[in-house]
Amino acid sequence: MATMGSVPHEETGDHIMTAEDPAPTYLLVTDLVARARNGDELAWGALVELYAPLIWSVCRRYQLARADAEDVAQVVWQYLVGELDRIRNPRAIPAWLVTTTRRECFRVQRAAQRSCPAGYVLDAEDVPDDKGVTPEQELLVTERHAALREALARLPPGCRQLLTLLIADPPVPYTEISARLGIPIGSIGPSRARCLEKLRRDPAIAALIDADEGREVTRP
């Protein structure tokens, strides 16, 4: 499968769909991923067309030369090709692409730093928290985050508000949660348990749990 790593032209008369356009729906991306897995070049090209502007925007933030940006895009697409069979939640793709592109941009900048004058230092904000995480691990993390956002969005408003407050950082005191939601402090614990059970039964979370259990069974 061709990786089509070149980034889009910055100015063009043709419309290029981006991740922010209303057209690319969950079902569309799911269909494209399924077809690309089976070697459909048109589906793969559509995925590249859809998300190339996202990769380009990250490269621009790092102020990469066009040739370097094209190299980064090529590597990122190659990574995505290798992860197609592992993608369970296509909504995780944009976040995964951003993280992976940032790491590749930093790699390019770090290589360029070796030829820069002494005293040149990369912007600390541009340095990703790289602890040897593989693309597969990054994909798992972003899929879990995407699944959690989906499941939370489908919860009843009361459960969604309660769980959001309970996982807030810094922690929100129970007295404040009680006042905000208008529920007794003593009912927060039982309500939390019921809401978490609803969250676990959500299809997005259930699929992740099943996949994780299957991975544990097959792990040597």
**1-135 fold:** Rna Polymerase Sigma Factor; Chain: A (1.10.1740)
Locate the domains of the chain by residue range.
Answer: 1-135
**pLDDT computed for residue 218 by the predictor:** 45
* Residue 161 tokens, joined: 């508000």
- Look at residues 49, 15, 10 and name the one whose alpha carbon lies nearest to residue 29: 49
Q: How many CB atoms neighbour CB 161 within 10 A?
A: 15
Q: What is the pLDDT of residues 1-19, one digit of tens each?
A: 655 544 444 433 333 333 4
> Above 80 in pLDDT, residue 214?
no
* Whether this model's pTM surpasses 0.85: no
Task: Give 60-113 pLDDT, tens digit per residue.
Answer: 888 888 999 999 999 999 999 999 988 888 888 888 898 899 999 999 988 877
Mean pLDDT of 131-154: 73
Residues 190-216 have a mean pLDDT of: 80
Percent of the chain past pLDDT 90, that is, above it, reads 35
Please choose, from the candidates 131, 73, 61, 147, the residue with its C-alpha nearest in 3D space to the C-alpha of residue 104.
73
Q: What is the DSSP-derived secondary structure letter of residue 122?
A: -
Q: According to the model, what pLDDT value does residue 215 have?
A: 52
